[in-house]
Structure 1
Amino acid sequence: MIIVTSKFDFNKFGLLLSKHSYQVKNNDILAGILIGLEPEYALIDLGLERICFLPLKELSLSHITNAQELLNINFIAEFFILDIKDNQRIIVSLKRVESIYLWNRLRQLDFTNMIIYAKIVKYLKKGRLAIFNGLYFFVLNSNIPKYYRRTNNQNLFIPFKFLEIKDSFHIAHISSTSAVFSKVNKNLILEAIYLGNIVSIKDFGIFINILGIKCLVHISEICQNPTIDLTSFYKRGDQISLKIISKDIERGKISITLET
C-alpha cells in the first residue's frame, strides 16, 4: 500500500481536542484533510491520534465514477464521524455532511404553498424513491396518481407537495396527489357542476376522475339498496354530472354527490 503524505503538519483544532481530553463520538463533524487515496477508501487526518478512513461510497450523494477527479492530496473539508469501531478505527463520511447542509437549506423554504418537481429514481413495491435538490424521499403509492405509477419513464419529474417534515429524523412526507390537487384547486368551485369520468366500479361505490382528482361516490349516494350491482347502471368510461360539496385542501381530496 502506497500512501502519499500531505503537507498538512498538524490540525490545531485536533490538538485542542486532545488537550482537553475530548472523546470523539459518532455524529461529530470535524474539519480534516486528505493525506492518502486508495482504491476503496481515502485516508483522512482530523488531527486526532489515529488516521480516519473515508469509504468512497461515503464520498457524495451524487454518483461518482472516478474519486480521483474529486479528491486530491491536501483536499480539506468537514467530515461526519460515521462510526468508531471496537478497534478504534474511525470511519467518516462526506455525504452525511452534504445531506445535513442540504436538509438545513431545505428547512428554510416555505412549504405551505410550495410545489416541487422531483425525479423518480427507483421503483419499489410500496412506493417510489424520488430525488429533489440532492435529497432522497420515499413516496407511498397512495400519494402518487395512478398515471405516474403506471409509467416506467426513468427521467420523469412529477409535482410533489410537502405534507410533514420531521427535523429530528431528517424525514419529510411528500405527496404528488396533493400537489396535483393544489394545481387544480382554484378550478374546483363548491356547489359547481362538473362532468366526471368513471375510472372504476366497486361494490361500495364508483370512483370518478374530475380534473385529475380521483373521487368516490359512495353507494349510499346512488341507491338505498346497498347490495345492488352498480355495473347494471354504470360502466367504466361513462361521463356523469357531479356536484362538489366540500374540499379538503390539506389531504388533497374533494367530496362529491351525484347531480340529479
Structure 2
Amino acid sequence: MASLAQQFTGLRCSPLSTSRLSKPFSPTQTKTTLLPIVSASVISNAQTKERLKLKEIFEDAQERCRTAPMEGVSFNLDSFYSALEKYDFNSEIGTKVKGVIFHTDNKGALVDITAKSSAHLKVEDACMHKIKHVEEVGLVPGVKEEFVIIGENEDDDSLILSLKTIQFELAWERCRQLQAEDVVVKGRVVGANKGGVVAVVEGLRGFVPFSQLSTKSTAEELIEKDIPLKFVEVDEEQSRLVLSNRKAMADNQAQLGIGSVVLGTVQSLKPYGAFIDIGGINGLLHVSQISHDRVSDIATVLQPGDTLKVMILSHDRERGRVSLSTKKLEPTPGDMIRNPTLVFEKAEEMAQTFRQRIAQAEAMARADMLRFQPESGLTLSSDGILGPVTSDLPVEGLDLSDLPSAVVTE
C-alpha cells in the first residue's frame, strides 16, 4: 500500500487505522467483530481507485503542458502583445509624457513613465535656472510632472527627459502674451556689451539696446538692478528677445497726461533741443518750445545739470518719446529767456490756463458737431460731454447762442 502511494508525488492520504488489526485473531470472536476488517478493506480499494484516477489526470495535464501549453487558454501570446501595445507610448524625441519621480541623487532623478524601463532626468535638465540638486526645485520622490523626451541612453536604452525644455516653452508663451497686452514688466540686468545691457524677464535673457535706456546710469551701474521694461520683439524661433526701458518709462509717465507739469534735469544739449530727464525717462524740449521768443543758441538758456519745470505736450508710447515745453509756461512771451525763475514759479498756474484752453477748444468742437450734424442724434451737456438725446431736454432743443463760434483756419 505504501509503495503505491509513493508513486504520486505531492499526494497526501491519511493512513488506514491498524489498531484493530494489531491484535491476533481469536476463534472466539463472532461475525460482528469481523465487520471492521471488511469495512477497512472496502475503503482501501476505493482510495486506490481514486488515486489511480488522479494519476491519469496529472499525467494528461503534464503531457498537455509539454506539447500544447496554450490549448484551451483564452489569453494567448498574441493577446499579450496586443495588451502591451495598448499601454505603449510614443518614445520619439520631442514627445511629452507624464511620469512619477521615485528616486533622486546628485545626478538627477529616475522617473517612472510606465515604459519598459525607467527614464532619467539629469540635474541640468530639471530647471531653466542653474541648480545643484533636483530637490531644490521641489522634485522629490512621489512628485508627478509632465516631461519631454530629449534623448536615449545608449548604454541601457533608457529615455532621457527634460523639464527645462517645457519651462522655456512656457516662458516664451508668457512673453508673447505680455507683449500682446503691452504691459510693463520688471527685468533684472545681468550683463552688458557694446550695444546695450542684458536683462532677465520671465527666466529668459533679453537685450536692451542703449537707445532704449532712459536712465543716466552706466551699464555697469545697472548690473543686478531691476528696471521697468516693455517688449519690442519676441521671436522664439530665432531666440530673439528685445526689450525697451524707454517705452516702459513713457508708459508710466502717460498717467500724468498732456498739460501736466513735471520737474526735470537737463541731460544734454543738441542743436535742435535739449534732452530732459523727467524721473527716469528722457523727454525732448525742442528749441521751438523753449520760449515764444526765438532762441538761436540753446546754451544761452540751458546748461546740462540745470533743474527746471516743464510741461508735457505729448507722448509717443510706441517710440518711447515725450515732448516737453517751457514756452507754454511763460506768463509773457520771452520770460524763459529773461526771467526763468518767474516761469517756474507760475508754472502750475500757466499749465492750468493751458488745460482750460484745451477744454474750451474741445467744447467748441463738440458744439460745431451738433450745429452742423443735427441728424447725429447727440446732445451736448452743460459740462461739454456728448451724449444721446434724452427726454428731459426741451422740445425746441438746445440754445447754442452763448457758445463761442468755431474758429475756421484756411
Question: If the TM-score is normalised by the length of the shorter chain, which range does it land in?
Answer: 0.5 to 0.7
The share of aligned pairs that are identical, in percent, is: 23
Structure 2 matches for 1:95-110, cutoff 5 A? Answer: 95-101=164-170, 104=173
Structure 2 matches for 1:1-260, cutoff 5 A? Answer: 15-16=85-86, 18=88, 22=90, 24-25=92-93, 27-48=94-115, 51-68=118-135, 70-83=138-151, 90-101=159-170, 104=173, 112=181, 114-118=183-187, 120=188, 122-125=190-193, 126-132=196-202, 135-142=203-210, 143-147=212-216, 149=219, 151-152=221-222, 154=224, 156-166=225-235, 173-189=242-258, 196-202=264-270, 206-217=274-285, 234-239=302-307, 244-256=312-324, 259=327
RMSD (Å), alpha carbons: 4.2
Q: Is the 8 A contact 1:15 1:48 kept in 2?
A: no
The C-alpha deviation readout for 1:59-96, integer Å capped at 9, x for no partner, is 12355444346444454321122345888774321122
Query: Structure 1 36/152 Cα, relative in aligned 2: closer, same or farther at 3 Å?
Result: same
CA distance in 2, matches of 1:18, 1:151: 56
Q: Is the 8 A contact 2:266 2:276 kept in 1?
A: yes
Question: TM-score normalised to the size of structure 1?
Answer: 0.65
The C-alpha deviation readout for 1:203-251, integer Å capped at 9, x for no partner, is 66532223443134567989xxxxx986576431134676655421222
Deviation at 1:199, TM superposition (A): 0.6
Question: 5+ unaligned residues in a row in structure 2: which ranges?
Answer: 1-83, 291-295, 328-333, 335-410
Q: Which has the higher helix share?
A: 2
Deviation at 1:177, TM superposition (A): 2.2
SS of the residue corresponding to residue 81 of structure 1 reads: strand
Q: How many residues align structurally?
A: 234
Deviation at 1:153, TM superposition (A): 6.5
Query: Structure 1 105/258 Cα, relative in aligned 2: closer, same or farther at 3 Å?
Result: closer
Higher RCO, 1 vs 2 (CA within 8 Å, ≥6 residues apart) = 1
Query: Structure 1 108/33 Cα, relative in aligned 2: closer, same or farther at 3 Å?
Result: same
- The letter of the residue matching 2:122 is P
CA distance in 2, matches of 1:94, 1:137: 18
CA distance in 1, matches of 2:145, 2:124: 16
SS of the residue corresponding to residue 182 of structure 1 reads: helix
Query: Structure 1 121/90 Cα, relative in aligned 2: closer, same or farther at 3 Å?
Result: farther
- The letter of the residue matching 2:267 is V
SS of the residue corresponding to residue 24 of structure 1 reads: coil
CA distance in 2, matches of 1:73, 1:218: 65
Question: TM-score normalised to the size of structure 2?
Answer: 0.45
SS of the residue corresponding to residue 268 of structure 2 reads: strand
